[in-house]
Chain A
């Protein structure tokens, strides 16, 4: 894992190399109660090291979008590519997926839950722990190494799940409402925490959220999806300097204007 210590990243993320691309993607589920179109004719491009937030009404296909990028699902029409690879195995290899609920295993300690990402890649348990420890410390988790998930607060659980996602060592992070289950104070804290990590170590991130403020605060760009079937109805570039202290940002008039635009697009 390379640690680039560029605290300030003023340049727009390079769109030269393609991170994730959706081209005319359609996906519908058929069940006994009929056909549900989750996504329809969706186009979306995410540049390398760009953080894109996706907001949209409940059930509009946000999780479906992530699972398509992750290689866990296949589109019915159109194409999905990650770093140039359209094959499911290629997408699986290049992405780290953080499920909507934290997905921590209740019988594993916090450290072992994070180390699971390495174990699945064939690293032995002891070696995996050793390699997970430095990251754990950097994420402010060192005191919780031995705690079981059931003993952790919601915020801590999300951090551990994020540690696991990072340890998978993939180019692209796919985060499904990582902070949705948290109270607003914990959530604000974790947003700053994630922003700091991403500023220190830029990654291509596709972040799904319900929360427009969170989307604007964390994203270089915010993509608004329509109600089901999901389609891109607005793309809002967020040109705010990084790192952005959350308190300053949310009270900035420019931020309020962006929020207004996003909310209008959502109501559309």
Chain B
């Protein structure tokens, strides 16, 4: 752990040090650039406020992610089982990535009002693509020999899906989930920027307008921690769900 992340940590500390140095220069206004120490101070001073808002953002992120996982898994399996559906939907799915989803946020607010709805919609929409496409690729890349084996053993299509294709595509699903976890927080923030009563994204936007620069930085730090924690949780879940990968080499 130390050996792996040690150099990165050193680099991060050096960057923070440089930042502290620049921010401490007399010529730099505190409102333009807060120093890391000031950000840490804000983190301590505004802890309760930050946590209340972080909780709201976390709930939006997790619910949106959950919707994307369920929807994405269903879509991937349906496209895998029904070839014409895949042929029709796959190009559209890829093309849909050209739509700048986050700028649609205000439209969702118009459609769903100020509640949690638009945030969930944005998070779910951004996370849907990596989950669906990775799972679908995983389902398609199962070795043909295994499919032949299952046919020869007399397995039904659904049995092959359940016993071979789904377990075999778990590693791909988790790659998709890792991408989804890292972008999901961004989705929640954009959702809040389009209109919200609470949440870290809103707090950061508000702090920016009110020139509370240290608080903005504290909020950004928390959002980053949240995304990293989600990423780590997905990685842990993967280790639990795909234990055979650790033995290496097998198929």
Q: How many residues of A contact B (CB 8 A)?
A: 27
The distance in angstroms between the C-alpha atoms of A105 and B159, with both chains bound, is 14
> Mask for A89-121, Cβ within 8 A of B = 1, else 0?
000110111011101111100000000110111
B145 near A104 with CB under 8 A, answer: no
The reply to whether the CB of B161 lies closer than 8 angstroms to some CB of chain A is no
Closest chain-A Cβ to B251's Cβ sits at a distance in Å of: 5
| Bound CA span A105–B151, Å | 15
A92→B145 contact, CB < 8 A: no
Query: Bound complex: CA of A100 vs CA of B146, how far in Å?
Result: 11
A205 to chain B minimum Cβ distance, whole angstroms, is 15
Q: B91 on the interface (CB 8 Å rule)?
A: no
Cβ contacts under 8 Å, A106 to chain B = 244, 247, 250-251
For the complex formed, measure the closest distance between the CB of B240 and the CB atoms of chain A, giving whole angstroms: 12
Contacting residue for A168 out of B143, B153, B242, B247, CB 8 A? B153
Given contacts A107-B244, A119-B159, 9 further A-B contacts (CB under 8 A): A92-B151, A93-B154, A97-B149, A105-B164, A106-B251, A120-B153, A120-B155, A150-B248, A168-B152
One of B148, B163, B243 near A97 (C-beta < 8 A): B148
Q: Among residues 122 to 177 in chain B, which have CB atoms less than 8 Å away from a CB atom of chain A?
A: 143, 145-146, 148-155, 159, 163-164, 167-168
Q: Please list the residues of chain A having a beta carbon within 8 angstroms of any beta carbon in chain B.
A: 67, 70-72, 92-93, 95-97, 99-101, 103-107, 116-117, 119-121, 148-151, 168
B247–A121 touching, CB < 8 Å = no
Q: What are the residues of chain B within 8 A of A93 when measuring CB–CB?
A: 154
**B249 within 8 A of partner (CB):** yes
Query: Cβ of A99: which chain B residues have Cβ within 8 Å of it?
Result: 145-146, 148-149
CB distance from B164 to the nearest CB of A (A): 7
Residues of chain A with a CB closer than 8 A to B247's CB: 106, 148, 150-151
Is the beta-carbon distance between A72 and B151 smaller than 8 angstroms? yes
In the assembled complex, which residues on chain B have CB atoms less than 8 Å from the CB atom of A72? 148, 151-152
CA distance A168 to B155 in the complex (A): 11
Number of B residues whose C-beta is below 8 Å from A?
24
A72–B163 Cα distance when bound, in Å, is 19
Among B153, B155, B244, contact of A148 (Cβ-Cβ < 8 Å): B244
Q: Is the Cβ of A121 less than 8 Å from the Cβ of B163?
A: no
Most chain A Cβ neighbours within 10 Å, of B168, B243, B244: B244
228-251 of chain B: CB within 8 A of chain A: 242-244, 247-251
Taking the nearest CB of chain A, how far is it from the CB of B141, in angstroms? Answer: 15
How far is B172's CA from A253's CA once the two chains are assembled, in angstroms?
A: 56
State whether A121 touches B153 (Cβ < 8 A): yes
Q: Specify which of A67, A107, A121 is in contact with B154 (CB 8 Å cutoff).
A: A121
B160–chain A nearest beta-carbon distance, Å: 9
Could you say which residues of chain B place their CB within 8 Å of the CB of A104? 250-251
Q: Which residues of B contact A148 (CB under 8 A)?
A: 244, 247, 250
Residues from chain A with a CB closer than 8 A to the CB of B168 are 105
Q: CB-nearest residue of chain B relative to A95?
A: B152
Q: How far is the CA of A71 from the CA of B152 in the complex (A)?
A: 8
Instruction: Write 7 A-B pairs (CB below 8 A) sorted by A numbering.
Output: A99-B148, A99-B149, A103-B143, A107-B244, A120-B150, A150-B247, A168-B154
Residue numbers in A under 8 Å from B251 (CB-CB): 104-106, 149
Chain A's closest residue to B151 (CB) is A72
| Chain A residues in 8 Å Cβ range of B155 | 120
Chain A hits for B151, CB < 8 A: 72, 92
CA distance A150 to B149 in the complex (A): 19
Instruction: Chain A residues near B248: list those with CB within 8 A.
Output: 150
- Residues of the B chain whose Cβ atoms lie less than 8 Å from the Cβ of A105: 146, 163-164, 167-168, 251
* A119–B163 CA distance with the chains assembled, in angstroms: 10
Measured between beta carbons, the chain A residues less than 8 angstroms from B146 are 99, 103, 105
Contact flag A150-B244 (CB < 8 Å), given A97-B148, A105-B164? yes
Are the CB atoms of A100 and B145 closer together than 8 Å?
Answer: yes
Q: State A101–B143 Cα separation when bound (angstroms).
A: 11
Most buried by A among B150, B244, B247, B250: B250
Inter-chain CA distance A168–B146, complex, in Å, is 15
Cβ-closest chain B residue relative to A99: B145
B residues 34-91 touching A (CB-CB < 8 Å): none
- Chain A residues with CB under 8 Å of B243's CB are 107
- From A101, A149, A150, give the contact of B145 (CB < 8 A): A101
Query: Does the CB pair B154–A92 fall under 8 Å?
Result: yes
Q: Say whether B148 contacts A116, CB under 8 Å.
A: no
B74 to chain A, nearest CB (A): 22
* CB-CB nearest in chain A for B155: A120
Q: B135: shortest Cβ distance to chain A, in Å? A: 16
What string of 1s and 0s marks CB contacts (under 8 Å) between B205-241 and chain A? 0000000000000000000000000000000000000
Q: Which residues of B in the span 109-128 have a Cβ within 8 Å of any Cβ on A? A: none
Complex alpha-carbon distance, A37 and B143, angstroms: 24
